[in-house]
Chain A
Amino acid sequence: MIFAVDIDWASLLEAAYISAAFGIGVLLVAGVAVLASLQAQDRAKAHQGGAMALHVLTGVCVLAIVAAVLLGIAVMINK
């Protein structure tokens, strides 16, 4: 009987895939940031090259997360 009721399945599905895409996406970007940061520390300690590039990658990931936060605040303002 649940399907006889006017349930907005389209909105529910849209919320589901946006949540999945952004939620997992932000976590993966954060994971890359942490991984790059840890590798950069290890390389710097071992006096190996590439530490700077990894620090830059960490910074880019952090900026991407900041952008996601700003997008979230924009959604709150415009809801």
Chain B
Amino acid sequence: MDAGDIIVGLVVAAALSFDFTNGFHDTANAMATTIATGALKPRMAVTLAAILNFVGAFISLKVAATVAGGIVDAGAITPVVVFGGLVGAICWNLATWWYGLPSSSSHALIGGVVGATIAAAGSSAVKFDGLLSKVIVPAIASPVLAGIVAAIGVFLVYRMIRGYSTVRSEREFRWGQVGSSSMVALAHGTNDAQKTMGVISLALIANGSISGGADFHVPDWVVVSCATAIALGTYVGGWRIIKTLGTKVVEVRPPQGFGSETVAATVILASSHVGYPLSTTQVVSGAVAGSGVGRPGAVVNWLIARNIVIGWLLTLPAAAGVGALSYAVVDVLGGSAFGVIVVSVAMVVGALLLWRANRAKPIEPEETISEHPAFGQAPAPEAIAA
């Protein structure tokens, strides 16, 4: 085993760690509204999301051959650059999870790779036109679009059912909510697990472990390990973000939850159909806020929404900064396997400290249920107060 094999091994480990954080960071996208209304119990919801993410990873295997393709110069990407990008993305995912902010894991990965690329080859290796057209413009357009469509759709649904008691009409939406959330979970598995498969494949091609030519195919172990990592992450459940999205942005009622998840699934799939990449997190967050605007009497907490948007604005530069720093540390240590090991150990220590801090002040699954759930029992008052 030479230094290249060790670096690739650590890149694979970092990629699977990123996939895991992607899973628990994005569980909220599919299940926050379903849990909040009580349509599914928290553990049942994350189990369903985990299974669908796992299945979704196998649905389509059209993996991108390059990381951040069209955004950075392909010639500048080396396994160490990819590693730096992954470290940047993982750190940003963990930081935003700690603060309960739903932010895009894909944008974090792109930001990390851009930062590491700048550190490795200078800013000329970054295609800023591509960054603007493939990341920034969709990042602005997608939550706005999802929000407007969700607001109109939910408003119309509430107009239709206004003659009936809230309790009766809301109960009819329970299984619709479960179905629409399931679609988002499936779409998430299809989109996000493949990004990690692309990262690992790229590292393997760069190391000469697999062929990148016409006979390129993703090794089975890569597919299975990526599907497993994202499913495990989803099952762990990022309760902090689930609580924010399900209970803090707006009090979610079943027609709203159904509306926001349906619109989110539609926007994600329509964009996928026309080849426009979108962030699942941003689409769902926009749809949840929009559904609050559309429901008569609902009050959107714009302060929380503002914090989420600030998180989105910081994603690219913050992940890029950590990605660049990681690359620089490895470079200072000789650009060898030793440097990669040092950064990996530092990241593991940081993650363990955060895990300890979370155990001291955990968010319990019951805390992610709305104060007035449509189904099941309301959480204990102390859980709501937390």
Contact = CB atoms under 8 A, between A and B. Distances in A.
B359 interface: no
B273 A34 contact: no
A15 B265 contact: no
Contact of B161 (A5, A22, A35, A79): A35
Interface string A1-32: 01001111001101110111011101110111
Interface string A39-79: 00000000000000000000000000100010011011111
B270 interface: yes
A15 B149 CA distance: 12
B60 interface: yes
Interface residues of A, number: 36
Nearest to B156: A28
B132 A79 contact: no
A19 B262 contact: no
B153 A34 contact: no
A8 B129 CA distance: 12
B38 interface: no
Contacts of B154: 27
Contacts of A11: 274-276
A5 B156 contact: no
Contacts of B238: none
A30 B56 CA distance: 25
Interface residues of B, number: 49
Given A24-B152, A30-B176, A76-B59, A12 B183 contact: no
Given A27-B262, A72-B265, A76-B269, A16 B145 contact: yes
B271 A15 contact: yes
A6 B128 CA distance: 11
A8 B186 CA distance: 27
A78 B129 CA distance: 28
Contact of B141 (A12, A38, A73, A77): A12
B276 A20 contact: no
Contacts of B62: 79
A71 to B, nearest CB: 8
Contact of B133 (A5, A30, A65, A78): A5
A15 B270 contact: yes
Given A6-B133, A35-B161, A77-B60, A19 B276 contact: no
A75 B137 contact: no
Nearest to A38: B164
Contacts of A34: 157, 160-161, 169, 172-173
B83 interface: no
Contact of A22 (B172, B270, B276): B270
User: Would you list the 5 A-B pairs with minimal beta carbon distance, nearest first?
Assistant: A27-B153, A18-B270, A23-B266, A31-B160, A23-B263
Given A31-B161, A69-B179, 15 more contacts: A2-B137, A11-B276, A14-B274, A15-B145, A20-B145, A20-B149, A24-B152, A24-B156, A26-B266, A27-B259, A32-B160, A38-B168, A72-B183, A76-B60, A76-B186
5 contacts: A15-B271, A18-B266, A24-B153, A76-B56, A76-B190
